[in-house]
Structure 1
Amino acid sequence: MTQVDNPKNIPSQGGATIRTAGSTTGFSPLDDQVDPQEYAHLLDLYDSSFRNIAEGEVVKGTVLKVTPSEVIVDVGYKSEGIIPVDEFLDETGQITVQPGDIVDVLLERTEDREGYVVLSREKAEKMKIWDEVEKAYAERKVVIGRVIERIKGGLAVDIGVRAFLPGSQIDVRPVRNLDALRGQELRMRVIKVNKKRGNIVLSRKVLLEEENAEKKKHTLDTLAEGKVLRGVVKNITDYGAFIDLGGIDGLLHITDMSWGRVSHPSELFQVNQEIDVIVLKYDPATERVSLGHKQLHQDPWSNVIERYPVGARLTGKVVSLTDYGAFVELEPGVEGLIHVSEFDDSHQKGKVDKLDLQVGETYQMKIIKLIPSERKIGLSIRALKNDEFRADWEAYTETAGRPEVTLGDHFKHQQ
């Protein structure tokens, strides 16, 4: 390394400075003991001892010293480069180098008008990144970037340098809320690069399509009716949910979601939720897949005879009112009907609300009919009240000892 007399910090292009001035070789033409020709020869040897590096080249240098404001780097040339410490700070503001570290720097100019070297670590990093981007483009490699912000037409992404991800290239399906992607890391592929103009265009959609094609092939090879699969809810509609099985979507219809009553699929599932489904039907020609979820659980009607025998008294919740009666849920998946004629003895034709039944309320009733094969259960409030009246009547006549007593006498006695 050269000796430095009266070092100076000289501004350079690219934000870096160099420390030089007064370099000495240890020889002088004024020295009577040194022949001038020999001195010139020694100078040539001295100059040739430095590295042969060209402007615009990224070279490796050794960090000699780190100060609060600058980093001094030796690149094996005549002078030591001084680079602002800002170029060596991480996201938290901490200095990332120390003396002895090897770093890449860009040699912008070997000499300016004063004979100083111009170095830049920041530009060296960007050049390396551009080289990597061009390589990724040529070799179709995956790049990983962080979404910076939403801009016109898409997203700005940081992959070491700023790049553009068009809205149409974000996903295989349209993405409505681009702001929700801010800060996320995405895997993408470079689909266009122009180093001269500083343009990089990315695509996540292309990568997803390629990955989905591989997943789809594997899924189709193993897909069969009756097979239980784990999928992800991708979209919810009024009539069902689309489930991603791995490169191919299947439809889970609302009627196959639960044995119970379901008003809307969103009551049971959410987008991006993982669920187990069973393949009900698969058409290889159209690649359409029908899925079921309730089929993974026992049908509540399978043993309804044991649990709901005719004559049993129970409590049920009214879930729907019609002109001909009220539908009552006995348990999820098992419903019965109270016909208007079974409301009570005072019921009038066409007066469904005679008893003021309310949807969502529970009532006492009696099972008067059961047809498991048709999934029908007949319920009655009138029959339950008749039983109660009959029980009261029998209790009264036994106590009074007068079988000839009338029903009016019974009510008179209760009052």
Structure 2
Amino acid sequence: MSKQEDFNWDNFETKGFGEGYSKEQREQMAAMYEDTLGTITEKEVIKGTVVGVNDKDVIINVGFKSDGLVPRSEFRDLESINVGDTVEVFIEEQENALGQLILSRKKAKIVRAWKDIEDALEFDNVIEGLVKRRTKGGLIVDIYGVEAFLPGSQIDVKPIRDFDIYVGKKMEVKVVKINHANDNVVVSHKVLIEKDLEKQKAEILNNLEKGQVLEGVIKNMTNFGVFIDLGGVDGLLHITDISWGRINHPEEVLQLDQKVQIVVLDFDDDKKRISLGMKQLTAHPWDSLASSLEIGSRVKGKIVNVADYGAFLELAPGVEGLIHVSEMSWSQHLRNPADFVKVGDEIEAVVLTLDKDERKMSLGIKQLTEDPWTK
């Protein structure tokens, strides 16, 4: 009989796997196998390697005794996902009822996002977000996939009248507050501008001189003048320094957010109050009066003011003459100037006195007709 025929197959098949080893040897081999596997902890984010991709799932090896499955839909933000790629995943369960390792890339992104947001607050990092939409009192900005609130007062150093212009645009922000109780994040864009403005402000103040011509932006308007942002420093352009002519309110010739050229007229020792001028950038209208203008000349203009003692006729912006009430009628009985003229009337008058050096002239309208007392 051959050796093959002497072999007892029945005895071999009745023995279980590993029965050729002692209990101690089997335990030692199991421990060696366990040592080849990584240790993972539930509810933590770890890196894994893609080992397979199908229509529904992405198979990921995290060094555990079994691979984990992640729905392919959780990778829609990536252009492609291929075998060998390294991705971060969140350990939901080491083993579910079917003994499967449950992973989530979506939750890993959320955990990573909050970690990055907390780091941004702690280390004062600047992060880029996308303005998704406007909301009551401000904007909603997407940072790392988390919706953060950007208050309207924190968008810019100047008041914002139209929030919609920012929607759909990228914006750099800083995290200023995190409320973990309701997962609320507050960010600011204004703090970044303020930091840049501090540098500009210091440079402007150090170089500020009377007569210096600057460019600024109108940020506020009042009935007595406008406040102009010179780049982190505000100056006042008084209504009387806007134009050589008379204006009742700055909005007649200027508008909010308009860029203007102005000249520094004066400032205090601390450079906290800066007076600005605009009309000073152009020659005074009196200097451009026609040389033919003299006493007895007939002129045309518009009534710009009526007082108890007379009315002011504007010949050109910044050039006015006084028509005294006594020069309005040949009558010996003085009446109210309002009986003869009103603001806005365009009339003709005669030059009675003229002093170009003092920039003064007096006018009359009764001189346009013959003196009845001469007859």
The two structures share one fold, judged by TM-score above 0.5? yes
Cα deviation code 1:100-149 (max 9, x no counterpart): 26544323233222122222222222222222212212221223443744
Counterpart check, 1:59 vs 2:43? no
Match of 2:345 among 348, 356, 361: 361
Q: What does residue 214 of structure 1 align with?
A: 199
CA distance 1:237–1:48, shift in 2 (3 Å): same
Counterpart check, 1:143 vs 2:127? yes
Q: What does residue 60 of structure 2 align with?
A: 74
CA distance 1:315–1:50, shift in 2 (3 Å): farther
CA distance 1:48–1:137, shift in 2 (3 Å): same
> How high is the TM-score relative to the length of structure 2?
0.76
5 Å-filtered alignment, 1:16-165, equals 53-55=40-42, 56-62=44-50, 65=53, 67=55, 70-75=56-61, 78-83=66-71, 85=73, 87-89=74-76, 96-100=78-82, 103-145=87-129, 146=131, 148-150=133-135, 157-160=141-144, 161-165=146-150
Matched-pair contact (CA < 8 Å) for 2:50–2:61: yes
Q: What is the root-mean-square deviation of aligned Cα atoms in Å? A: 4.0
Q: What does residue 380 of structure 1 align with?
A: 364
Distance of 1:125 and 1:307 partners within structure 2: 83
Match of 2:268 among 261, 283, 300: 283
Distance of 1:141 and 1:185 partners within structure 2: 16
- Partner of 1:252, secondary structure, is strand
Distance of 2:51 and 2:213 partners within structure 1: 61
> How high is the TM-score relative to the length of structure 1?
0.69
CA distance 1:330–1:291, shift in 2 (3 Å): same
Match of 1:238 among 210, 216, 223: 223
Q: What does residue 260 of structure 1 align with?
A: 245
Matched-pair contact (CA < 8 Å) for 2:68–2:102: no
Counterpart check, 1:225 vs 2:223? no
Deviation at 1:256, TM superposition (A): 0.9
Counterpart check, 1:306 vs 2:291? yes
Matched-pair contact (CA < 8 Å) for 2:68–2:103: no
Counterpart check, 1:331 vs 2:331? no
Distance of 1:347 and 1:98 partners within structure 2: 100
Cα deviation code 1:128-177 (max 9, x no counterpart): 222221221222122344374445x876543231334567756667x696
Q: What does residue 322 of structure 1 align with?
A: 307
Matched-pair contact (CA < 8 Å) for 2:263–2:278: yes
Deviates more, 1:103-112 or 1:223-232: 103-112
Deviation at 1:227, TM superposition (A): 0.9
Match of 1:295 among 275, 280, 284: 280
What is the letter of the counterpart of residue 244 of structure 2? W
Matched-pair contact (CA < 8 Å) for 1:111–1:118: yes
Deviation at 1:63, TM superposition (A): 8.7
Deviates more, 1:232-241 or 1:51-60: 51-60
Counterpart check, 1:352 vs 2:340? no
Runs of 5+ consecutive residues of structure 1 not aligned to the other structure: 1-28, 91-95, 390-405, 408-415
Matched-pair contact (CA < 8 Å) for 2:152–2:160: no
Q: What does residue 3 of structure 2 align with?
A: none
The percentage of aligned residue pairs carrying the same residue is 38
CA distance 1:43–1:83, shift in 2 (3 Å): farther
Q: How many equivalent residue pairs? A: 350
Distance of 1:307 and 1:231 partners within structure 2: 40
Deviation at 1:199, TM superposition (A): 4.1
What is the letter of the counterpart of residue 70 of structure 2? I
Q: What does residue 25 of structure 1 align with?
A: none
